[in-house]
Structure 1
Amino acid sequence: MPFQRIEAEKLSQSVVKQIEQLILRGILRPGERLPSERELSERLGVSRPSLREAVADLQERGLLATRASAGIYVADVLGSAFSPALIELMAAHDEAVFDYIAFRQDLEGIAAERAAIQGSDTDLKVIDTIFHKMEGAHRKRNPSDEAELDAEFHLAIIEASHNVILLHMMRASFNLLRQGVFFNRQQMFKNRTTRDMLLDQHRDINAGLQARDPMAAKAAVIAHLDYVKQEMSELKRSEKNEEIAQLRYAHEQDR
């Protein structure tokens, strides 16, 4: 008969499964520091030896990492999604920028639809809260905070879609965006008119989500990324024109 004796699960394995689920669902993020051993064992209601055994298992599998005199952190599991050679290759070719935007349009459109339908009320509150922070940052002269909140806003939508594969794929690509592999996000926010347009587009996305209108949310995401594509094309063309102008200027100086 195909039956096996049921064994009581070790406490350490219960701890492992809980931490795995928190990482998988994106609640514990790469680089995030775990509480101290004492605090974590108390929160989980397990002994320190059981906790140490669980942590050792997760470290061995590359999900947790120890930093000297700094504690235990969630490992940079996203950093391994793209090889260094591929990252260098993408950074060197402009076409990767537009492929990246097309990739985002496809997946974020789906994520916005799902978030409008399946996101909880709390998910939508998180998105709305980040949008209002964007409005506050918009009034500042330095666009760096607004650019960072832009990424957080889009990731919050992906989190609200409750698809863990989509979440980790998009987190990995946003990690590269933050590193400037595809383009410098702050370039997009330097021009005041562009900043105004971007804020209005995020307002439309947020409105569609808060109304739980999947078609409106998806359309707003696609329109926003169409605008980003257009602006990046203009930036690339301006950079190329400036290179040519500098060559002409250098030639004129030599004559």
Structure 2
Amino acid sequence: MPFQKIEAEKLSQSVVHQVELLILRGILRPGERLPSERELSDRLGVSRPSLREAIAELQDRGLLTAKPNAGVFVADVLGSAFSPALIDLFSTHEDAVFDYVAFRRDLEGLAAERAAHFGSDTDLEVINTIFHKMEAAHQKRDPTDEAELDANFHMAIIEASHNIVMLHMMRSMYDLLRQGVFYNRQMMFKNRLTRDMLLDQHRAINSGVQSRNPQAARAAVEVHMDYVKQAMVDQIKAARNEAIARQRLQHEKNRQ
């Protein structure tokens, strides 16, 4: 008969599985420090030897990493999503930048649609809380805070879509965006008119998600990303025009 005795799972394996799920679901994030050994063993209700065995296995598998005199951290498993050579190509070619915007338009439209449909009440509360922070930051006119909250808002929607593959793929893309690989988000928040438009667009996205209207949420994301694309086109044209103007000015000075 194809039956085998059921054996109790080792405590260390239970710890491994729990940490795996927390990383997989995006709750534990790359670079996040785990609680101390004492605190973590208390929280999990396991002995320190069992905890150490689990941590060692997770380190061997590249999910956790230990830093001397600092603690144990979630490994930057997203860092390998793109090779350094490919990242350099992204940052130096306009085609890659516009492809990135088109990619976000499609994927985030789907994420907003799913968030409106599958997101829990708590998911929607997280999104709404971040949006209210965006409104507060808008009054302070700090482009750095606004740009960071912008990324957090979109990631919260992706998390609320409850698609693990989409979550990790988009998180890796946003890490590159935060690094300025694709374009400088802060530049977009320095123009008053642009800032106002962006806040209104995020308000429409939030409204679509909060009302659990998948079609409205997706349409609002598409309008927003189309605006971002056009703003980038305008920025590129303005930069080129300024470069030409500087050449003309330098030439004029040399003629004197």
TM range (shorter): over 0.9
Q: Deviations over 1:11-52 (max 9, x none)?
A: 111100000000000000111110000000010010001100
Q: Deviations over 1:190-222 (max 9, x none)?
A: 001100000000000000111000000000000
Which amino acid in the other structure matches residue 136 of structure 2? G
Work out the CA distance in 1 between the residues paired with 2:104 and 2:191. 23
Work out the CA distance in 2 between the residues paired with 1:189 and 1:10. 52
Which amino acid in the other structure matches residue 17 of structure 2? K
Task: Show the 5 A alignment for 1:226-241.
Answer: 226-241=226-241
Deviation at 1:77, TM superposition (A): 1.1
Identity among equivalent positions (%) equals 73
Work out the CA distance in 1 between the residues paired with 2:240 and 2:67. 44
For 1:64, the equivalent position in structure 2 comes to 64
For 1:92, the equivalent position in structure 2 comes to 92
Q: Deviations over 1:48-99 (max 9, x none)?
A: 0110011011111111111221111111111111111100111011111110
For 1:8, the equivalent position in structure 2 comes to 8
Q: Deviations over 1:134-170 (max 9, x none)?
A: 0000001321111100000000000000000000000
For 1:81, the equivalent position in structure 2 comes to 81
TM-score scaled to structure 1, two decimals? 0.98
Task: Show the 5 A alignment for 1:208-219.
Answer: 208-219=208-219
Deviation at 1:171, TM superposition (A): 0.2
Work out the CA distance in 2 between the residues paired with 1:123 and 1:197. 25
For 2:134, the equivalent position in structure 1 comes to 134
Which amino acid in the other structure matches residue 132 of structure 1? H
For 2:254, the equivalent position in structure 1 comes to 254
Please tell me the root mean square deviation across aligned C-alpha atoms, in Å. 0.9
For 1:185, the equivalent position in structure 2 comes to 185
2:143 matches 1:149: no
Work out the CA distance in 2 between the residues paired with 1:174 and 1:4. 46
Please say which of residues 239-248 and 30-39 is displaced more in the overlay.
239-248
Deviation at 1:244, TM superposition (A): 1.5
Which amino acid in the other structure matches residue 188 of structure 1? M
Which amino acid in the other structure matches residue 133 of structure 1? K
Which amino acid in the other structure matches residue 223 of structure 2? A
2:197 matches 1:203: no
Please say which of residues 220-229 and 64-73 is displaced more in the overlay.
64-73
Q: Deviations over 1:103-153 (max 9, x none)?
A: 001100110111001000000000000000000000013211111000000
Please say which of residues 122-131 and 244-253 is displaced more in the overlay.
244-253
TM-score scaled to structure 2, two decimals? 0.98
| Structure 1: runs of 5+ lacking an equivalent | none
Work out the CA distance in 2 between the residues paired with 1:2 and 1:158. 43
For 2:117, the equivalent position in structure 1 comes to 117
Which amino acid in the other structure matches residue 169 of structure 1? M
Work out the CA distance in 2 between the residues paired with 1:196 and 1:185. 15
Deviation at 1:251, TM superposition (A): 2.2
Partner-residue secondary structure (3-state), 1:73: strand
Partner-residue secondary structure (3-state), 1:65: strand
Partner-residue secondary structure (3-state), 1:55: helix
Partner-residue secondary structure (3-state), 1:3: coil
Partner-residue secondary structure (3-state), 2:77: coil
Partner-residue secondary structure (3-state), 2:140: coil
| Structure 2: runs of 5+ lacking an equivalent | none
Work out the CA distance in 2 between the residues paired with 1:141 and 1:218. 28
Deviation at 1:7, TM superposition (A): 2.3
Work out the CA distance in 1 between the residues paired with 2:87 and 2:17. 32
Work out the CA distance in 2 between the residues paired with 1:24 and 1:217. 26
Work out the CA distance in 2 between the residues paired with 1:92 and 1:58. 37
